[in-house]
Amino acid sequence: MDYIAQLDTAIARLHDEGRYRTFIDIERRNGHFPHAVRTRPDGSQQNITVWCGNDYLGIGQHPVVLKAMHEAVDAAGAGSGGTRNSSGTTISHKRLEAELADLHGKESALLFTSAYIANDATLSTRPKLFPGLIIYSDELNHASMIEGARRNGGAKRICRHNDVAHLRELLEADDPKAPKLIAFESVYSMDGDFGPIEEICDLADEFGALTYIDEVHAVGMYGPRGGGVSERDRLAHRIDIINGTLAKAFGVMGGYIAASEKMCDTVRSYAPGFIFTTSLPPAVAAGAEASVAYLKTASELREQHQTRAKILKLRLKRMGLPLIDHGSHIVPVIVGNPVHTKKLSDMLLDDYGIYVQPINFPAVPRGTERLRLTPSPVHGSAEIDQLVNGLITLWAQCELNRTELAG
Ligand code: PLP
Protein backbone atom coordinates (compact mmCIF):
# COMPACT_ATOMS: atom_id res chain seq x y z
CA MET A 1 0.00 0.00 0.00
CA ASP A 2 1.09 3.57 -0.69
CA TYR A 3 0.67 4.76 2.89
CA ILE A 4 1.53 8.38 2.14
CA ALA A 5 -1.01 8.58 -0.68
CA GLN A 6 -3.67 7.13 1.64
CA LEU A 7 -2.93 9.78 4.25
CA ASP A 8 -3.01 12.52 1.61
CA THR A 9 -6.38 11.27 0.35
CA ALA A 10 -7.84 11.25 3.85
CA ILE A 11 -6.79 14.85 4.48
CA ALA A 12 -7.79 16.01 0.97
CA ARG A 13 -11.29 14.66 1.61
CA LEU A 14 -11.66 16.95 4.62
CA HIS A 15 -10.36 19.94 2.65
CA ASP A 16 -12.82 19.19 -0.18
CA GLU A 17 -15.72 19.14 2.27
CA GLY A 18 -14.52 22.39 3.86
CA ARG A 19 -14.16 20.77 7.27
CA TYR A 20 -10.41 20.39 7.69
CA ARG A 21 -9.69 21.62 11.21
CA THR A 22 -6.93 24.06 12.03
CA PHE A 23 -5.73 25.01 15.50
CA ILE A 24 -5.78 28.61 16.63
CA ASP A 25 -2.75 29.16 18.85
CA ILE A 26 -3.84 31.11 21.88
CA GLU A 27 -2.20 32.22 25.07
CA ARG A 28 -4.63 32.37 27.95
CA ARG A 29 -3.76 35.14 30.40
CA ASN A 30 -4.77 34.52 33.96
CA GLY A 31 -7.26 37.10 35.18
CA HIS A 32 -8.08 38.36 31.68
CA PHE A 33 -10.28 35.58 30.29
CA PRO A 34 -12.18 35.74 27.90
CA HIS A 35 -9.45 37.97 26.49
CA ALA A 36 -6.41 36.13 25.20
CA VAL A 37 -3.56 36.55 22.74
CA ARG A 38 -3.40 34.73 19.44
CA THR A 39 -0.20 34.01 17.59
CA ARG A 40 -0.94 34.28 13.87
CA PRO A 41 0.72 31.88 11.38
CA ASP A 42 3.23 34.64 10.49
CA GLY A 43 4.29 34.89 14.16
CA SER A 44 2.61 38.23 14.86
CA GLN A 45 0.25 38.58 17.82
CA GLN A 46 -3.38 39.64 18.05
CA ASN A 47 -5.62 40.37 21.02
CA ILE A 48 -8.72 38.22 20.83
CA THR A 49 -11.89 37.47 22.77
CA VAL A 50 -12.70 33.79 23.19
CA TRP A 51 -16.37 33.02 22.48
CA CYS A 52 -16.18 29.26 22.11
CA GLY A 53 -14.61 28.07 25.35
CA ASN A 54 -16.20 25.65 27.79
CA ASP A 55 -14.83 27.36 30.89
CA TYR A 56 -18.48 28.34 31.13
CA LEU A 57 -18.26 30.35 34.35
CA GLY A 58 -14.73 31.70 33.96
CA ILE A 59 -13.79 29.76 37.08
CA GLY A 60 -10.53 28.51 35.53
CA GLN A 61 -8.94 31.77 36.67
CA HIS A 62 -10.70 32.09 40.02
CA PRO A 63 -8.34 32.85 42.95
CA VAL A 64 -9.93 30.11 45.11
CA VAL A 65 -9.08 27.47 42.51
CA LEU A 66 -5.61 28.82 41.76
CA LYS A 67 -4.70 29.05 45.44
CA ALA A 68 -5.70 25.41 45.98
CA MET A 69 -3.62 24.35 42.99
CA HIS A 70 -0.56 26.38 44.03
CA GLU A 71 -0.72 24.99 47.53
CA ALA A 72 -1.10 21.43 46.29
CA VAL A 73 1.86 21.74 43.92
CA ASP A 74 3.98 23.07 46.78
CA ALA A 75 2.78 20.34 49.11
CA ALA A 76 2.66 17.32 46.80
CA GLY A 77 4.75 18.11 43.72
CA ALA A 78 3.78 17.72 40.08
CA GLY A 79 2.34 14.35 39.13
CA SER A 80 0.59 11.64 41.14
CA GLY A 81 3.32 9.16 40.29
CA GLY A 82 1.09 6.20 39.65
CA THR A 83 -2.20 4.60 38.76
CA ARG A 84 -4.90 4.68 41.41
CA ASN A 85 -3.93 1.15 42.46
CA SER A 86 -0.21 1.77 42.63
CA SER A 87 0.54 4.85 44.73
CA GLY A 88 -1.61 7.25 42.68
CA THR A 89 -4.47 7.59 45.17
CA THR A 90 -3.72 10.67 47.26
CA ILE A 91 -5.74 12.55 49.84
CA SER A 92 -6.60 15.07 47.09
CA HIS A 93 -8.26 12.33 45.03
CA LYS A 94 -10.19 11.02 48.00
CA ARG A 95 -11.37 14.47 49.03
CA LEU A 96 -12.50 15.34 45.52
CA GLU A 97 -14.45 12.08 45.23
CA ALA A 98 -16.19 12.80 48.53
CA GLU A 99 -17.03 16.33 47.33
CA LEU A 100 -18.52 14.96 44.09
CA ALA A 101 -20.53 12.23 45.82
CA ASP A 102 -21.98 14.94 48.07
CA LEU A 103 -22.69 17.21 45.08
CA HIS A 104 -24.92 14.58 43.50
CA GLY A 105 -26.31 13.08 46.70
CA LYS A 106 -24.74 9.70 45.89
CA GLU A 107 -22.89 7.24 48.10
CA SER A 108 -19.75 7.37 46.02
CA ALA A 109 -17.88 8.98 43.13
CA LEU A 110 -15.02 7.79 40.98
CA LEU A 111 -12.50 10.01 39.22
CA PHE A 112 -11.15 9.56 35.70
CA THR A 113 -8.69 11.59 33.68
CA SER A 114 -11.58 13.00 31.63
CA ALA A 115 -15.33 12.66 31.24
CA TYR A 116 -14.67 11.05 27.86
CA ILE A 117 -12.80 8.25 29.61
CA ALA A 118 -15.42 8.10 32.37
CA ASN A 119 -18.20 7.52 29.81
CA ASP A 120 -16.19 5.10 27.72
CA ALA A 121 -14.84 3.10 30.67
CA THR A 122 -18.12 2.91 32.58
CA LEU A 123 -20.40 2.01 29.70
CA SER A 124 -17.99 -0.50 28.19
CA THR A 125 -17.67 -2.28 31.54
CA ARG A 126 -21.40 -2.70 32.16
CA PRO A 127 -21.95 -5.68 29.79
CA LYS A 128 -19.18 -7.55 31.63
CA LEU A 129 -21.19 -7.23 34.82
CA PHE A 130 -24.67 -7.64 33.43
CA PRO A 131 -24.49 -10.37 30.75
CA GLY A 132 -26.98 -9.76 27.95
CA LEU A 133 -27.21 -6.03 28.77
CA ILE A 134 -29.01 -3.88 26.22
CA ILE A 135 -27.94 -0.22 26.10
CA TYR A 136 -30.54 2.27 24.81
CA SER A 137 -28.61 5.27 23.58
CA ASP A 138 -29.95 8.63 22.37
CA GLU A 139 -28.86 9.21 18.77
CA LEU A 140 -27.19 12.50 19.72
CA ASN A 141 -25.18 11.11 22.61
CA HIS A 142 -21.56 12.20 22.79
CA ALA A 143 -18.89 10.16 20.98
CA SER A 144 -17.55 8.89 24.33
CA MET A 145 -20.88 7.20 25.15
CA ILE A 146 -21.16 5.81 21.64
CA GLU A 147 -17.66 4.32 21.92
CA GLY A 148 -18.35 2.91 25.38
CA ALA A 149 -21.64 1.32 24.37
CA ARG A 150 -20.04 -0.30 21.32
CA ARG A 151 -17.72 -2.67 23.14
CA ASN A 152 -17.85 -5.87 25.17
CA GLY A 153 -20.74 -7.59 23.53
CA GLY A 154 -23.64 -5.57 24.88
CA ALA A 155 -26.51 -5.02 22.49
CA LYS A 156 -27.23 -1.43 21.51
CA ARG A 157 -30.43 0.30 20.44
CA ILE A 158 -30.35 3.83 19.07
CA CYS A 159 -33.24 5.98 20.13
CA ARG A 160 -34.37 8.98 18.11
CA HIS A 161 -33.26 12.15 19.84
CA ASN A 162 -35.33 12.90 22.95
CA ASP A 163 -38.15 10.75 21.55
CA VAL A 164 -39.64 9.05 24.60
CA ALA A 165 -42.31 7.27 22.52
CA HIS A 166 -39.56 5.72 20.40
CA LEU A 167 -37.65 4.74 23.52
CA ARG A 168 -40.78 2.99 24.81
CA GLU A 169 -41.17 1.12 21.50
CA LEU A 170 -37.56 -0.07 21.71
CA LEU A 171 -37.94 -1.18 25.32
CA GLU A 172 -41.19 -3.01 24.57
CA ALA A 173 -39.60 -4.87 21.68
CA ASP A 174 -36.94 -6.49 23.88
CA ASP A 175 -37.07 -9.43 26.28
CA PRO A 176 -38.60 -8.09 29.53
CA LYS A 177 -36.06 -10.12 31.50
CA ALA A 178 -32.99 -8.70 29.71
CA PRO A 179 -30.90 -6.25 31.77
CA LYS A 180 -31.23 -2.75 30.33
CA LEU A 181 -29.51 0.63 30.61
CA ILE A 182 -30.73 3.95 29.18
CA ALA A 183 -27.91 6.39 28.36
CA PHE A 184 -28.66 10.03 27.64
CA GLU A 185 -27.54 13.61 28.31
CA SER A 186 -29.07 16.38 30.37
CA VAL A 187 -27.92 19.23 28.10
CA TYR A 188 -26.98 18.35 24.53
CA SER A 189 -23.97 20.43 23.75
CA MET A 190 -24.56 21.29 20.10
CA ASP A 191 -28.21 22.41 20.17
CA GLY A 192 -28.30 23.25 23.88
CA ASP A 193 -31.54 21.32 24.39
CA PHE A 194 -32.47 19.36 27.51
CA GLY A 195 -33.03 15.62 27.84
CA PRO A 196 -36.49 14.52 29.14
CA ILE A 197 -35.06 13.22 32.42
CA GLU A 198 -38.29 12.56 34.29
CA GLU A 199 -39.97 10.70 31.42
CA ILE A 200 -36.87 8.58 30.92
CA CYS A 201 -36.75 7.74 34.63
CA ASP A 202 -40.44 6.74 34.48
CA LEU A 203 -39.72 4.41 31.57
CA ALA A 204 -36.68 3.01 33.36
CA ASP A 205 -38.86 2.21 36.39
CA GLU A 206 -41.50 0.60 34.22
CA PHE A 207 -39.03 -1.56 32.29
CA GLY A 208 -36.56 -2.24 35.10
CA ALA A 209 -33.72 -0.38 33.37
CA LEU A 210 -30.71 1.41 34.82
CA THR A 211 -30.33 5.11 34.01
CA TYR A 212 -27.06 6.76 32.93
CA ILE A 213 -26.93 10.52 32.45
CA ASP A 214 -24.12 12.65 31.04
CA GLU A 215 -24.29 16.02 32.85
CA VAL A 216 -21.06 17.31 31.35
CA HIS A 217 -22.66 20.52 30.03
CA ALA A 218 -24.70 21.10 33.18
CA VAL A 219 -22.57 20.41 36.27
CA GLY A 220 -21.58 23.60 38.06
CA MET A 221 -24.22 25.55 36.10
CA TYR A 222 -27.63 24.11 36.94
CA GLY A 223 -29.20 23.18 40.26
CA PRO A 224 -29.02 25.06 43.58
CA ARG A 225 -25.51 23.68 44.24
CA GLY A 226 -24.36 23.08 40.67
CA GLY A 227 -25.34 19.40 40.70
CA GLY A 228 -26.71 19.71 37.16
CA VAL A 229 -30.18 19.51 35.67
CA SER A 230 -30.94 16.34 37.63
CA GLU A 231 -30.39 18.34 40.81
CA ARG A 232 -32.39 21.33 39.50
CA ASP A 233 -35.32 19.06 38.67
CA ARG A 234 -34.93 17.03 41.90
CA LEU A 235 -34.38 13.85 39.95
CA ALA A 236 -30.81 12.93 40.89
CA HIS A 237 -32.04 10.17 43.22
CA ARG A 238 -33.73 8.48 40.25
CA ILE A 239 -30.52 8.31 38.19
CA ASP A 240 -28.25 5.32 38.77
CA ILE A 241 -25.07 6.78 37.31
CA ILE A 242 -24.29 10.49 36.82
CA ASN A 243 -21.35 11.42 34.63
CA GLY A 244 -19.69 14.84 34.85
CA THR A 245 -16.58 16.73 33.84
CA LEU A 246 -14.21 18.87 35.87
CA ALA A 247 -12.97 20.56 32.70
CA LYS A 248 -15.86 22.83 31.72
CA ALA A 249 -17.82 24.81 34.34
CA PHE A 250 -15.43 23.55 37.04
CA GLY A 251 -12.58 25.04 35.00
CA VAL A 252 -9.86 22.43 35.62
CA MET A 253 -9.62 18.92 34.16
CA GLY A 254 -10.82 15.38 34.77
CA GLY A 255 -14.09 13.47 34.72
CA TYR A 256 -16.11 11.31 37.08
CA ILE A 257 -19.13 9.21 37.75
CA ALA A 258 -21.27 9.47 40.87
CA ALA A 259 -23.37 6.45 41.82
CA SER A 260 -23.95 3.86 44.54
CA GLU A 261 -20.93 2.50 46.32
CA LYS A 262 -21.36 -0.89 44.65
CA MET A 263 -21.66 0.62 41.18
CA CYS A 264 -18.49 2.68 41.65
CA ASP A 265 -16.68 -0.25 43.22
CA THR A 266 -17.34 -2.46 40.18
CA VAL A 267 -16.18 0.20 37.72
CA ARG A 268 -13.12 0.76 39.88
CA SER A 269 -12.42 -2.97 39.84
CA TYR A 270 -13.24 -3.85 36.22
CA ALA A 271 -12.75 -0.84 33.92
CA PRO A 272 -9.40 -0.82 32.09
CA GLY A 273 -9.85 2.93 31.47
CA PHE A 274 -9.78 3.45 35.22
CA ILE A 275 -7.23 0.82 36.25
CA PHE A 276 -4.45 1.04 33.68
CA THR A 277 -3.69 4.74 33.58
CA THR A 278 -1.96 7.29 35.78
CA SER A 279 -4.29 9.22 38.06
CA LEU A 280 -4.82 12.97 37.85
CA PRO A 281 -2.05 15.13 39.35
CA PRO A 282 -2.92 15.96 43.00
CA ALA A 283 -2.89 19.69 42.18
CA VAL A 284 -5.52 19.16 39.49
CA ALA A 285 -7.66 17.20 41.95
CA ALA A 286 -7.17 19.91 44.60
CA GLY A 287 -8.11 22.68 42.15
CA ALA A 288 -11.20 20.77 41.07
CA GLU A 289 -12.18 20.11 44.67
CA ALA A 290 -11.92 23.83 45.45
CA SER A 291 -13.95 24.65 42.36
CA VAL A 292 -16.73 22.15 43.09
CA ALA A 293 -16.92 23.30 46.72
CA TYR A 294 -16.93 26.99 45.73
CA LEU A 295 -19.62 26.57 43.10
CA LYS A 296 -21.90 24.78 45.56
CA THR A 297 -22.52 28.19 47.11
CA ALA A 298 -22.05 30.50 44.10
CA SER A 299 -25.62 30.75 42.85
CA GLU A 300 -25.07 34.35 41.79
CA LEU A 301 -22.51 33.17 39.22
CA ARG A 302 -25.01 30.68 37.81
CA GLU A 303 -27.65 33.43 37.61
CA GLN A 304 -25.23 35.83 35.89
CA HIS A 305 -24.35 33.10 33.42
CA GLN A 306 -27.98 32.56 32.45
CA THR A 307 -28.57 36.32 32.22
CA ARG A 308 -25.64 36.82 29.85
CA ALA A 309 -26.85 33.97 27.66
CA LYS A 310 -30.37 35.47 27.57
CA ILE A 311 -29.05 38.91 26.64
CA LEU A 312 -26.91 37.54 23.84
CA LYS A 313 -29.74 35.43 22.44
CA LEU A 314 -32.17 38.34 22.59
CA ARG A 315 -29.78 40.64 20.75
CA LEU A 316 -28.99 38.11 18.04
CA LYS A 317 -32.67 37.26 17.59
CA ARG A 318 -33.54 40.93 17.25
CA MET A 319 -31.07 41.14 14.38
CA GLY A 320 -32.75 38.14 12.75
CA LEU A 321 -29.86 35.73 13.05
CA PRO A 322 -30.91 32.07 12.85
CA LEU A 323 -30.18 30.78 16.28
CA ILE A 324 -31.46 27.80 18.21
CA ASP A 325 -32.83 28.65 21.63
CA HIS A 326 -33.87 25.89 23.99
CA GLY A 327 -33.39 28.04 27.08
CA SER A 328 -29.94 26.75 28.01
CA HIS A 329 -26.63 28.64 28.15
CA ILE A 330 -25.47 27.42 24.73
CA VAL A 331 -26.06 29.73 21.76
CA PRO A 332 -25.80 27.96 18.39
CA VAL A 333 -26.01 30.22 15.33
CA ILE A 334 -26.78 28.13 12.26
CA VAL A 335 -24.89 28.87 9.05
CA GLY A 336 -25.79 25.65 7.27
CA ASN A 337 -22.73 25.20 5.10
CA PRO A 338 -19.21 24.16 6.12
CA VAL A 339 -17.40 26.52 3.78
CA HIS A 340 -19.42 29.57 4.86
CA THR A 341 -19.04 28.61 8.51
CA LYS A 342 -15.27 28.39 8.21
CA LYS A 343 -15.12 31.67 6.27
CA LEU A 344 -17.25 33.45 8.83
CA SER A 345 -15.13 32.09 11.67
CA ASP A 346 -11.90 33.16 9.91
CA MET A 347 -13.24 36.66 9.22
CA LEU A 348 -14.51 37.11 12.78
CA LEU A 349 -11.07 36.22 14.03
CA ASP A 350 -8.97 38.16 11.54
CA ASP A 351 -11.12 41.28 11.29
CA TYR A 352 -12.69 41.52 14.74
CA GLY A 353 -10.49 39.49 17.07
CA ILE A 354 -13.47 37.27 17.92
CA TYR A 355 -12.62 33.63 18.28
CA VAL A 356 -15.41 31.14 17.65
CA GLN A 357 -14.47 27.97 15.86
CA PRO A 358 -16.61 26.45 13.09
CA ILE A 359 -18.65 23.38 14.06
CA ASN A 360 -19.04 20.84 11.28
CA PHE A 361 -20.01 17.24 10.64
CA PRO A 362 -19.64 14.81 12.44
CA ALA A 363 -20.16 16.99 15.55
CA VAL A 364 -23.43 18.18 13.95
CA PRO A 365 -25.47 16.86 10.98
CA ARG A 366 -24.42 18.12 7.55
CA GLY A 367 -26.39 21.22 6.55
CA THR A 368 -26.55 22.46 10.15
CA GLU A 369 -22.95 23.70 10.38
CA ARG A 370 -22.78 26.47 12.93
CA LEU A 371 -21.00 28.84 15.22
CA ARG A 372 -21.50 27.76 18.82
CA LEU A 373 -21.24 30.72 21.15
CA THR A 374 -20.62 30.24 24.86
CA PRO A 375 -21.33 33.40 26.86
CA SER A 376 -20.16 33.46 30.46
CA PRO A 377 -20.28 35.77 33.48
CA VAL A 378 -16.96 37.25 32.32
CA HIS A 379 -18.34 38.20 28.89
CA GLY A 380 -19.65 41.69 29.70
CA SER A 381 -21.56 44.29 27.66
CA ALA A 382 -18.46 45.43 25.77
CA GLU A 383 -17.68 41.90 24.64
CA ILE A 384 -21.29 41.23 23.67
CA ASP A 385 -21.44 44.51 21.67
CA GLN A 386 -18.27 43.61 19.83
CA LEU A 387 -19.54 40.13 18.98
CA VAL A 388 -23.01 41.24 17.85
CA ASN A 389 -21.60 44.04 15.68
CA GLY A 390 -19.05 41.74 14.09
CA LEU A 391 -21.59 39.03 13.38
CA ILE A 392 -24.16 41.40 11.91
CA THR A 393 -21.67 43.04 9.58
CA LEU A 394 -20.25 39.76 8.35
CA TRP A 395 -23.66 38.16 8.02
CA ALA A 396 -24.69 40.93 5.65
CA GLN A 397 -21.37 40.87 3.82
CA CYS A 398 -21.65 37.12 3.20
CA GLU A 399 -25.31 37.53 2.22
CA LEU A 400 -26.45 34.83 4.58
CA ASN A 401 -30.14 34.30 5.34
CA ARG A 402 -31.74 35.75 8.43
CA THR A 403 -34.44 33.40 9.60
CA GLU A 404 -35.09 32.23 13.08
CA LEU A 405 -35.08 28.46 13.39
CA ALA A 406 -36.49 27.78 16.80
CA GLY A 407 -37.35 29.18 20.18
N1 PLP B 1 -19.71 14.30 27.28
C2 PLP B 1 -20.10 15.34 26.53
C3 PLP B 1 -21.55 15.51 26.25
C4 PLP B 1 -19.16 16.24 26.01
O5 PLP B 1 -19.55 17.26 25.24
C6 PLP B 1 -17.78 16.06 26.30
C7 PLP B 1 -16.74 16.97 25.80
O8 PLP B 1 -16.89 17.96 25.22
C9 PLP B 1 -17.44 14.97 27.10
C10 PLP B 1 -18.40 14.10 27.57
C11 PLP B 1 -16.00 14.74 27.45
O12 PLP B 1 -15.61 15.61 28.47
P13 PLP B 1 -14.07 15.79 28.83
O14 PLP B 1 -13.61 16.99 28.08
O15 PLP B 1 -13.98 15.92 30.29
O16 PLP B 1 -13.40 14.53 28.33
User: Can you state the percent helix, strand and coil of the chain, rounding each to 5?
Assistant: 45, 15, 40
CB of 255 within 6 A of ligand 1: the answer is yes
CB of 144 within 6 A of ligand 1: the answer is yes
pLDDT of residue 18: 79
pLDDT of residue 403: 58
pLDDT digits 0-9 by tens, 278-298:
999 999 999 999 999 999 999
CB of 141 within 6 A of ligand 1: the answer is no
Residue 391 CA to ligand 1 center (angstroms) comes to 27
Record the pTM.
0.95
CB of 245 within 6 A of ligand 1: the answer is yes
Name which of 191, 181, 192, 184 is nearest 162 in CA terms: 184
Taking CA atoms only, the protein residue closest to ligand 1 atom 3 is: 142
Q: How many residues does the chain have?
A: 407
End-to-end CA, the chain: 52
Residue 115 CA to ligand 1 center (angstroms) comes to 5
Helices (H), 337-380: 338-352
pLDDT digits 0-9 by tens, 39-69:
999 999 999 999 999 999 999 999 999 999 9
Task: Tell me how crowded residue 162 is: count the other CB atoms within 10 A of its CB.
Answer: 20
Cis-peptide into 362, omega within 30 deg: yes
Report the atom number in ligand 1 closest to the C-alpha of 189: 5
Residue 296 CA to ligand 1 center (angstroms) comes to 21
CB of 113 within 6 A of ligand 1: the answer is no
CB of 374 within 6 A of ligand 1: the answer is no
pLDDT of residue 406: 39
Q: DSSP letters along 220-283, please? A: TTSSTTS--HHHHTT-GGG-SEEEEESSSTT-S--EEEEE-HHHHHHHHHH-HHHHTSBPPPHH
Q: At what angle do helices 91-104 and 282-296 cross, to 10 degrees?
A: 30
Pocket probe mutation, ligand 1, options 216, 217, 243, 250, max atoms within 8 Å of Cβ: 216
Q: pLDDT tens for the chain, 407 residues: list them.
A: 999 999 999 999 999 987 888 899 999 999 999 999 999 999 999 999 999 999 999 999 999 999 999 999 999 999 999 999 999 999 999 999 999 999 999 999 999 999 999 999 999 998 889 999 999 999 999 999 999 998 877 799 999 999 999 999 999 999 999 999 999 999 999 999 999 999 999 999 999 999 999 999 999 999 999 999 999 999 999 999 999 999 999 999 999 999 999 999 999 999 999 999 999 999 999 999 999 999 999 999 999 999 999 999 999 999 999 999 999 999 999 999 998 999 999 999 999 999 999 999 888 999 999 999 999 999 999 999 999 999 999 998 887 766 544 34
Beta bridge partners of 20: none
Identified catalytic residue from 94, 156, 180, 248: 248
CB of 247 within 6 A of ligand 1: the answer is yes
177 is catalytic: no
Taking CA atoms only, the protein residue closest to ligand 1 atom 7 is: 116
